[in-house]
């Protein structure tokens, strides 16, 4: 295939598939816990981290990761200690993070083009170093989910029942929020911070329309995530479309197809 002859496309595919896998697997848990907007909120905060990295002259992925993970912990504290509702805490934190990014960008006044690539994504410009970083982080996310799979399912299904079964639900809340921060940072290069929530939420939402059990929901979500990235890159190359927009629109089509299939299946029962 002609598309695979280019090294930039090989890198985009490799990183995109791994990141989509991590986002879509984690997304199933977030959607079912009604934390779908967590990714969106953390993405806004991450914008501040990216701006900070560019201002300091270090790789934005690391400052973004540090800011996103710190914000994830603050978010949990705001929920628990301050007694705020989850969406209120996300609203406060995301606005503050984004405002920080806007101020830093304005103060330095010299990196708006690069900042734009993080806002809207630029997977075709991904470097080999970023591929390796993405591989390591995506593998860490998937491994964390696999190793805690049954605990995460139980805690997502019912917090109280899980606690009385000896499942460390408080620790899992922290783990899930930290993993969300990592996936947001990973996904920002693929679809950009403004569309990052799509990579986490839409494949999971599509899978949950048709899945017969939890295991199949995870598998279908991962499949939807990976297919959308592969098809999105294909569309980007052959139809000259922006990769991030193509990936998210294809995910929306997959969700529509899953929604329709679920209606047909239910009518047939």
Partner 1 sequence: MNDPDVLIDLDGITFRYGRELILDSVSLQVRRGDFVALLGPNGSGKSTLIRIVLGLLRPDEGEVRLMGRDLDEFNSWDRIGYVPQKATDLDPLFPASVREVVAMGLLTHKRWPRFLGTGDERVIDEALDLLEMRPFRKRQIWALSGGQQQRVFIARALASQPEVLILDEPTAGVDGVTQERFYDLLQRINRERGVTLILVTHDIGVVTKHVTKVACLNQKLVFHGSHSDFCESEQAITLFGPESHLICHRH
- Give the footprint of partner 1 on this chain (CB under 8 A): 31-32, 147-148, 150-151, 153-154, 156-158, 160-167, 208, 211-217
Structure tokens of 152?
A: 């995460």
Residue 242 three-state SS: coil
In eight-state DSSP terms, residue 6 is S
Closest contact distance (angstroms) between CB of 155 and partner 1 is: 10
Nearer residue to partner 1 within complex by CB, 105 or 155: 155
What is the DSSP code string of 143-166? HHHHHTHHHHHHHHH-HHHHHHTT
In the complex, the smallest distance separating the C-beta of residue 175 from partner 1, rounded to whole angstroms, is 12
CB nearer to partner 1: give 93 or 208. Answer: 208
Judged on CB neighbours under 10 Å (0-12, 13-18, 19+), 82 is exposed
Nearer to partner 1, 35 or 151 (CB): 151
Query: Closer CB to partner 1, residue 110 or residue 150?
Result: 150
Identity of the residue, 58 or 147, whose beta carbon is nearer to partner 1 in the bound complex = 147
Q: Residue 152: which of 166, 142, 162 has the closest Cα?
A: 162
At closest approach, how far in Å is the CB of 30 from partner 1?
Answer: 13
Residue from 173, 198, 176, 222 nearest 43 by CA: 198
- Output 113 or 212, the one with its CB closest to partner 1: 212
Q: How many Cβ atoms are within 10 Å of 100's Cβ, its own excluded?
A: 18
CA distance 94 to 110: 24
Q: Shortest gap between Cβ of 242 and partner 1 (angstroms)?
A: 31
The least distance separating partner 1 from the CB of residue 112, rounded to whole angstroms, comes to 41
Minimum gap (Å) between residue 216 Cβ and partner 1? 7
> How many helices (H) and strands (E) in the chain?
12, 0
């Amino acid at each position: 295939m002609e598309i695979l002859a280019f090294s930039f496309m090989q890198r985009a595919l490799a990183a995109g598939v791994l990141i989509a896998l991590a986002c879509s697997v984690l997304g199933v848990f977030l959607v079912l816990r009604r934390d779908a907007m967590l990714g969106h909120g953390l993405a806004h905060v991450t914008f501040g981290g990216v701006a900070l990295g560019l201002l300091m002259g270090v790789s934005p992925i690391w400052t973004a990761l540090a800011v996103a993970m710190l914000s994830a912990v603050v978010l949990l504290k705001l929920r628990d200690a301050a007694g705020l509702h989850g969406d209120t805490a996300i609203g406060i934190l995301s606005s503050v993070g984004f405002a920080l990014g806007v101020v830093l960008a304005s103060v330095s006044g010299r990196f708006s083009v690069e900042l734009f690539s993080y806002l809207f994504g630029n997977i075709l410009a991904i470097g080999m170093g970023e591929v390796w970083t993405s591989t390591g982080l995506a593998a860490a996310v998937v491994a964390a989910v696999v190793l805690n799979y049954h605990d995460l399912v139980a805690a997502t299904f019912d917090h109280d029942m899980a606690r009385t079964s000896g499942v460390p639900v408080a620790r899992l809340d922290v783990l899930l929020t930290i993993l969300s921060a990592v996936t947001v940072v990973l996904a920002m290069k693929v679809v950009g911070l403004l569309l990052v929530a799509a990579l986490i939420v839409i494949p999971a939402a599509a899978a949950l329309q048709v899945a017969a059990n939890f295991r199949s929901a995870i598998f279908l979500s991962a499949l939807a995530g990976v297919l959308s990235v592969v098809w999105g890159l294909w569309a980007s190359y052959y139809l000259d479309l922006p990769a991030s927009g193509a990936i998210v629109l294809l995910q929306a089509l997959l969700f529509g197809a899953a929604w329709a299939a679920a209606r047909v299946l239910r009518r047939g029962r």
